[in-house]
Structures are given as C-alpha cells and as structure tokens.
Amino acid sequence: MADIRKLNVFLCHASDDKKTVRELYQRLTNSDYEVWLDEAKLLPGQEWELEIPRAVKSADVVVACLSKNSVSKEGYVQKELRIALDVADEKPEGTIFMVPVRLDDCIVPTRLNKWQWVDLFEEEGYRKLLLSLDRRAEDLGVQDAGNDQQAIKPESQDPEPNYDLKLAYEQAEQIKEFNLRLRKAMPGSYGYVQAKSKVDINRVMDTIGKDCEKYALWWNSEYQHHNANPVIYYPEKDMWVFDGNESKIVDLWVYKHPTTERQYVIIQTESNSPFGIYDPPGKTVEEAAYFQGRYVTYDEYYDGYTLIDGQSVELTDAEYRCRYLTSKFFIFAPQMSVYIWGRENRQFNDEIKNEVHDALLSAGKINVDLLRPLEKLKRAYWMTYLD
C-alpha cells in the first residue's frame, strides 16, 4: 500500500491572480492534496523570506500559475519561482516537478516553456492537472487521491483498513474535542440552539476558537473552506478575526446532535466597510494586511514592504486580513466532519451546502428550516467504523 502521506503541492503565483489561485487551492485541497499557499500556510510572525524557500524545497510538485496580467509584469519570475527553477534543475530528467498552469491564453515565459503546460481555463484542464499530480504521486509512492474518479471509493471495493482506520481515529479525536467544547459553551441544550446575546456569542466563539489548531477547526462558506486558526477577539472593536477574516457577528447558532460529526456552529456576520486604502474600493471583498496599527495593501503585503513617511519598511510582523463587504454566513466544524471533508460524496454534499447558503442569503438571516437540508449530508464510509 502507498505511504499515507499526501502529495505536497506548492502554488506559485502573482498577487494579480490571487482570486483564481485561491479557487485552485480549494479544489486541490478538496481533491485531498497537501497544498501550500502563502495566505493559508504562513502564520503571523513567521518570516516569509525563510518559510517560502523551505516550502518550495520540500514540495513534491510546484504549480506555476501564469496569466496575461502576471507574466506581463516586470520581474514576474518571483523569488520563489527562481528557487523552484533551481530545484527543478537538480531533479532527474523526466521528473514531474515543475508544472506550468495557464490561467488564461498567455505567453509562457521562456524559463518555463521547456515543460508541457496545462490550460486550466479549458474544459479538461483541471483533469489533466490531476493526471500529472497522480503520476508524480505514483512515482514517489505516496497517496494517490487526487483523481476525482478514484477519490470516491466504489461500494463494491473493499476499504483499505489501515489508512481508513487511521482516518476514523483521527476524526474521532477531532470530534471528541469539538463535542466537549460545544457542551461547555452551551450546556444542557440539544438540537438547534441560538445564542441569545453578545455574551453567548462571545462565549461560544471563545470556547471553540481557543487553541483550535489542536482539533483542526475549519470554516465553510459557499464553495470556500479553510483552517480557522487563529481565532482572536478584539473587544475594543467588538470584532472576531478567524483565518484573517475580520467579522462582526450578529447571530450565532449551535447544532448539537447525537452523531457528533454532524455538529457545527453557524454565524452570520454584518457587512464590513472597506479598509479605506483602495481607490476604487472593492465591491464584495477586500484583502489587506494589518501592520503596526495601520492597514497596508495586499500587494504590499505580498511584496513584504510598505512605504511609511517616504521610507521603505519591511512587513516582518504583518497579519493578513480580509473584509467581506456584504453579510456572510460561516459554518465552523472540525476538518474531518461532513461539513468540511471533501473526498467522498463531494458533489452531493457541495450541492446541498451551496443551496443552503443561497437560501440563507436570500432570507437575510439564519433560519432553522433553511438549515435542515444539511442533515442529509452523506458521511464518508470510514466515518462509520467507530460507531
């Protein structure tokens, strides 16, 4: 049986392509790869000039994302891409390590055109990318889970007991900790329970958010889901920040259920005002970074420097921030719950989650009847092993 570790994929990109690359990150993560994206993996306080080269050198595959906007910029071959090219030169001939991915009909830079590229904007583009990643996984003898057809185990196929049982035990630990925290946050209540006050909201968020990396707390909203860590409350602004998302919570519900991996917390946030550093401001979302009491643009954060009083200042301790300019709904649950885990039953579960989210947006509030379709989400086959 293959090693249970996942193929390590590094996404190299320019800031102009952040939205598209973030969507690619979500798809690859859902396809069960270990994906490295700067905003997802770099923690506040880490030195990006050290961490990014480490990540490139430890990657099994580097996906170089290319577009007309990015390749036309002077100096497009960024530092991490130069490092990746150096690493690629050290690989044996024929190794799939550098995979250029065109996001649109752009010209591939000279230093990358020796490798066959894939057009992500074409209908078969993502499938072809998965085939390359699966081939690399096969060469390395690591977990081959990216192919959508293979990722959903047929009912007639016997499970791989060692790997699947490992998943079940890992899930059990996450769910046990989350269940304990829900019992502590909302004692003596079951089913759908609404927080009645700001005190209730803050107690629940504090209880599930403290040291949440210990049980892999994630958030889900529309097609997006990601690690929620860190979860921090700023009382002077009455603002919660999770995974860099600045949010003022106006409603919160807890769903407590005997099948504990079906439990979750859902919040509604009010619309944010723009950061005030972009002209024109964003329409639905803005990204920036918080540095020494001020906000800097995302491009400055990506470059690692900003100008203060005419002087270039290194953003050594800047924190990624995101503001949604419309009201949003977020579900919080452990990564290996039915609300986050995307390997099995992905299409069925995603359709339900997206329908529920759209219904909540239309209603403009959390409504129990609108949440009930989530009770139909299918469990992965291995989630029953420890029942």
What is the CATH number for 67?
3.40.50.10140
Do residue 220 and residue 332 come from a single domain? yes
Of the three residues 116, 151, 186, the one that is the final residue of a domain is: 151
Do residue 107 and residue 234 come from a single domain? no
Q: Does some domain include residue 23?
A: yes
Do residue 69 and residue 172 come from a single domain? no
Do residue 374 and residue 332 come from a single domain? yes
Q: Which residues contact 252 (CB under 8 A, 6 or more apart)?
A: 194, 195, 200, 201, 204, 205, 265, 266, 267, 268
pLDDT of res. 275: 96
pLDDT by 10-residue block (mean), the chain, 387 residues: 72 85 90 84 66 82 87 56 79 83 84 83 86 85 54 39 72 93 95 97 98 92 82 96 95 93 96 94 90 92 88 90 94 91 76 93 97 92 73
pLDDT of res. 199: 97
Count how many domains the chain has: 2
Structure tokens at 145: 């889970």
Cβ proximity of 183 and 44 under 8 Å: no
Q: Does some domain include residue 296?
A: no
Using CA atoms, how far apart are residues 353 and 347, in angstroms rounded to an integer?
10
Do residue 116 and residue 175 come from a single domain? no
Do residue 131 and residue 247 come from a single domain? no
pLDDT of res. 63: 94
Do residue 19 and residue 70 come from a single domain? yes
Using CA atoms, how far apart are residues 371 and 10, in angstroms rounded to an integer?
36
Burial of 235 (0-12, 13-18, 19+ CB in 10 A): exposed
Do residue 119 and residue 35 come from a single domain? yes
Do residue 179 and residue 46 come from a single domain? no
Using CA atoms, how far apart are residues 7 and 142, in angstroms rounded to an integer?
7
Q: Does some domain include residue 320?
A: no
CB crowding 38-54: b at 16 or more within 10 Å, else e: bbbbbeeeeebeeebbe
Do residue 32 and residue 139 come from a single domain? yes
Of the three residues 97, 125, 151, the one that is the final residue of a domain is: 151
Q: Does some domain include residue 88?
A: yes
Do residue 132 and residue 168 come from a single domain? no
pLDDT of res. 387: 60
Question: What range does the domain containing 203 cover?
Answer: 161-270+327-384
Do residue 118 and residue 221 come from a single domain? no
pTM of the model: 0.63
